[in-house]
Chain A
């Protein structure tokens, strides 16, 4: 199963496959506020998809709609070809791992895991075997008879996962399951959970506001903003070729500079920015106001061949040392601009005030329409 999961085709090809989870044109309003606006999403079998966005973007609402804990105002939700839109939560067989784990405080670890089996009327002997297997899966065998309240955050997290997967749900939803863990533990748990879910081949939807988490864990990421999906793609697509300025800004660090399109030819546009002329792949009318974005680690010090590279000069404003790498902030001339450069090795004698020549590949430049005052 794990071989199958790791060898999965890239997400862009997956669109043709019949989708396992299909969310179609779902709208949800709370009073006057539209939280989800005709949103659609399809997820393939055994795929791990993250819903990434800031708080209030609708990602948790979408999760609760899929789980059946909320009902949509419009639209449909199907899993494995079965329309679940009007099916009650407890009849959907969709597992949920909650943000605070929501373990039952009056039950032991084993009783928590057996809860779903018991609710479904699984015979006692089979319950015990499945609970044992689930405890083994999350490496918590020794804790079966403990009170859940006596467990640490990481242990509670494992039990919450075991409790959700033991009933063999058709879909697993995870609502910011790592947010209560400290950074070190979180990184360990991310990899471990990903491993467990791959081995089980469970289709998973993972809600997070942490872009690093989404990049590490996902087959695909749905970047959400104001109730819509801005970009759905593999982690590398979302990071390296963001479809919108919002996605570029939300996922990872970025440099950005505003400018006006001077002209275009052969799929490249030439943009006049305060840092000089910059070229980027794209199609824009001359005179359009645009924003050019580049990832800080795509920028290097020194000049490069003019046919492939953009070259600009800037003055260092700040040097931020991270140990394995150094981040340089450059001075900018207009509001909203940001020139951040990440270097693995700092050239000698670079200090605030130094002038530097910088280069990045034309292919690494992204160009987006500049947001207008009245919005997009």
Chain B
């Protein structure tokens, strides 16, 4: 991620910005690993997307972008990512605010509540949800016994369960960047705003929100780019009823053995994520970014 703001003051020495700094060598092991494990496979994947059994071809892209079925699936993935990001933001923003403002033992407790779930595997969490949402699960049990519904309703394999599960998995990834930005927000700015006659809503819109926007953008980008690629959670909670780009890729590779289709879908997803990350780092820098 290129979102972290560069707050370090550079030494004023007359060094050209392109002059080689030997300290960069320390990153060599990491760079070599990333080259082997990330860059090479991705390049091969991009290559695959332009090749079929007869040589160079755009058939993969033609198939994905020309078929309403696949366009619908891209739409599904984008919709899933958008809704997940929006819900995570709506729930995560106040939680991050509380986390940044509270002190002492309650902060520790809040931290634990929000971040301990990260230590549990996505598969475990999602299976846990399916058990809870079954017809004889605890949610249906409560709803029936409290008299809200006549008989158990179907929860698993609905879009509701999908969004529920996605937010469950990705919420901490929204809270963490928001928290780190909010922690740096000087509470006296809010006092100053109030002393100048601004009510809570005005203060939120004109001070809090603009100053925490880097956190919103960072958290939003992070959650969007991982939820647009989500595979496990949609697979377990909805299955084939709600196909996503990742599921198409998996099917293309594992079932129908159409490598070009899978690779083309993968490249499209890569482009979406890369565009988003570039746009967000531009957003973080652009409005008032240089002033701070």
Residues of chain A touching chain B, judged by Cβ–Cβ distance below 8 Å, are 64, 67-69, 88-91, 93-96, 98-100, 102-106, 108, 115-116, 119-120, 147-150, 163-164, 167, 173
B200's closest neighbor in chain A, by CB?
A: A90
Q: What's the minimum C-beta distance from A82 to chain B, rounded to whole angstroms?
A: 15
Residues of A within 8 A of B197 (CB): 90-91, 93, 116, 119-120, 167
Partner of A102, one of B189, B198, B203: B189
Residues of A within 8 A of B211 (CB): 104-106
Does more than half of chain A's interface fall in helix, strand or loop, or is it mixed? mixed
A-B contacts, 9 listed (Cβ < 8 Å) = A64-B191, A102-B188, A102-B191, A105-B292, A116-B196, A119-B199, A147-B292, A163-B192, A167-B196
Contact string against A for B residues 88-127, beta-carbon threshold 8 Å, 1 for contact and 0 otherwise: 0000000000000000000000000000000000000000
B202 touches A67 (CB 8 A): no
User: Quick one: which of B188, B192, B194 has the most chain A CB within 10 A?
Assistant: B192
| A90-B199, A120-B197 as given contacts; A115 in contact with B206, CB under 8 Å | yes
A149 touches B292 (CB 8 A): yes
B192's closest neighbor in chain A, by CB?
A: A102
Contact string against A for B residues 172-196, beta-carbon threshold 8 Å, 1 for contact and 0 otherwise: 0000000000000010110111111
| Separation of A102 and B195 alpha carbons in the complex (Å) | 11
A69 touches B196 (CB 8 A): no
B191 touches A69 (CB 8 A): yes
Q: Is B29 an interface residue (CB 8 A)?
A: no
A114's closest neighbor in chain B, by CB?
A: B196
Q: Is B147 an interface residue (CB 8 A)?
A: no
Residues of A within 8 A of B193 (CB): 90, 104, 115, 119
Q: Is B207 an interface residue (CB 8 A)?
A: yes
Partner of A119, one of B188, B196, B288, B292: B196
| A98-B188, A147-B291, A149-B291 as given contacts; A115 in contact with B195, CB under 8 Å | no
Residues of A within 8 A of B189 (CB): 102, 104
- For the A-B complex with A89-B195, A98-B191, A119-B193 known, give 16 more contacts whose Cβ atoms are closer than 8 Å: A89-B194, A95-B196, A96-B192, A98-B192, A100-B188, A102-B189, A104-B193, A105-B211, A115-B193, A115-B196, A115-B198, A119-B199, A147-B290, A163-B192, A164-B196, A167-B196
Partner of B292, one of A106, A116, A163: A106
Q: What's the minimum C-beta distance from B94 to chain A, rounded to whole angstroms?
A: 21
Q: What's the minimum C-beta distance from B6 to chain A, rounded to whole angstroms?
A: 15
| Separation of A90 and B193 alpha carbons in the complex (Å) | 8
Partner of A106, one of B188, B200, B288: B288
| Separation of A119 and B197 alpha carbons in the complex (Å) | 6
Residues of B within 8 A of A94 (CB): 195
The 7 closest A-B pairs by CB, nearest first: A116-B196, A147-B291, A119-B198, A102-B192, A89-B194, A96-B195, A102-B188
Q: Is B210 an interface residue (CB 8 A)?
A: yes
| A67-B191, A68-B194, A115-B193 as given contacts; A106 in contact with B199, CB under 8 Å | no
Q: What's the minimum C-beta distance from B213 to chain A, rounded to whole angstroms?
A: 9
| Separation of A106 and B214 alpha carbons in the complex (Å) | 12
